[in-house]
Amino acid sequence: MPINIHHFERCKQQGKPIVALTAWEFSSAQVLDQCGVDLLLVGDSLAMVALGYTSTLPITLDEILHHAKAVRRAVTQAFLVVDLPFLSYQESPQQAMHSAGRALKEAEAQAVKLEGGHTEIVQTVRYLVQMGVPVMGHIGLTPQSVNQVGGYRKQGTDAESQSRLLNEAKALEEAGAFSIVLEHMPPELAQQISRTLAIPTIGIGAGPHCDGQVLVTHDLLGLSEWRPPFARAYANLRETMTDAVKRFSDDVRERRFPG
């Protein structure tokens, strides 16, 4: 049975950790889906990791949707979430609805993810949910705010920002978000937020106490040239790929391929 939104509240109630990964293209999305990953996110990290932009800011909704459609064609079981990129939802709730609507119609996404937890974003989340769009929140390190924050720093490192993040999480839940990504914050804060909320938290660089964990798939596979300190590589595909390409090149140059 394909996963629907109720799966996540059941996981939280039953204390079953949620597995989430990013997906950007057909073949690897098929593998992730067949491995039984609960939630696949067409994250805007795609901008930096797969498209080579220097931040997530330049990627457009059209670019994200191009990838999301390929992932949709691959996925039969996992719950599909699409990131709304910078400037596709910040102007107004109506702009957000238009962008989210495109994700749901064109890529058949089951939900969208928005960054931030301040008042305007909470209002937008409430509007989307009222209009029938499931929303995942994202607080802590929010890469779309890199220019305002001045880097990709850990968030919630002092009492004031900890209390702000806790309040943002509560406000997003109250506005109807079905889940919230907690990125790069102290584990104790993520634990407090996870205990306070009835909806599941999905952590990335937020310690072991979240209700689920998400990683950028390229980081998990060891394919990225750089990965954040909190990511764990479960393979070294960069090395495997380099070795395969070198052996192929040698075989071609030595006329060993084709045999």
Residues that bind ligand KIV (CB under 6 A): 22, 41, 43-45, 83, 138, 181, 204, 214, 216
Whole-angstrom Cα distance, residue 167 to residue 163?
6
CB 64 within 8 A of CB 46: yes
Find the shortest distance in angstroms from Cβ 47 to ligand KIV. Answer: 8
Helix runs in the chain, H state only = 6-14, 26-34, 46-49, 61-74, 93-106, 119-130, 146-149, 159-175, 187-196, 217-220, 237-253
DSSP assignment of 203-224, as one string?
EESS-TTSSEEEE-HHHHTT-S
| Minimum CB distance to ligand KIV smaller for 124 or for 179 | 179
- Closest chain position to ligand KIV (CB): 43
Residue 162 or 201: the one with the smaller Cβ distance to ligand KIV is: 201
Asked whether 229 and 211 are in contact (CB, 8 A), the reply is no
Q: How far is the CB of 45 from ligand KIV (least distance, A)?
A: 3
Comparing CA positions, the residue from 108, 124, 227 lying closest to residue 175 is 124
Estimate to the nearest angstrom the gap between the alpha carbon of 94 and the chain centroid. 23
As to burial, measured by CB atoms within 10 angstroms (0-12 exposed, 13-18 middle, 19+ buried), residue 54 is: exposed
What is the nearest approach in angstroms of ligand KIV to the Cβ of residue 22?
A: 4
Cβ at position 215, least distance to ligand KIV in Å: 8
Sign of CA dihedral 46, 51, 56, 59: negative
Amino acid at 59: I
Is 239 considered catalytic here? Answer: no
Q: Which is nearer to ligand KIV, 169 or 244 (CB)?
A: 169
Residues 6+ apart with CB under 8 A from 240: none
Between 96 and 214, name the residue whose CB sits nearer to ligand KIV. 214
Question: Which among 115, 168, 173, 183 is annotated as catalytic?
Answer: 183
In whole angstroms, the minimum distance from the beta carbon of 141 to ligand KIV comes to 9
Output 3 or 50, the one with its CB closest to ligand KIV: 50
Catalytic residues: 183
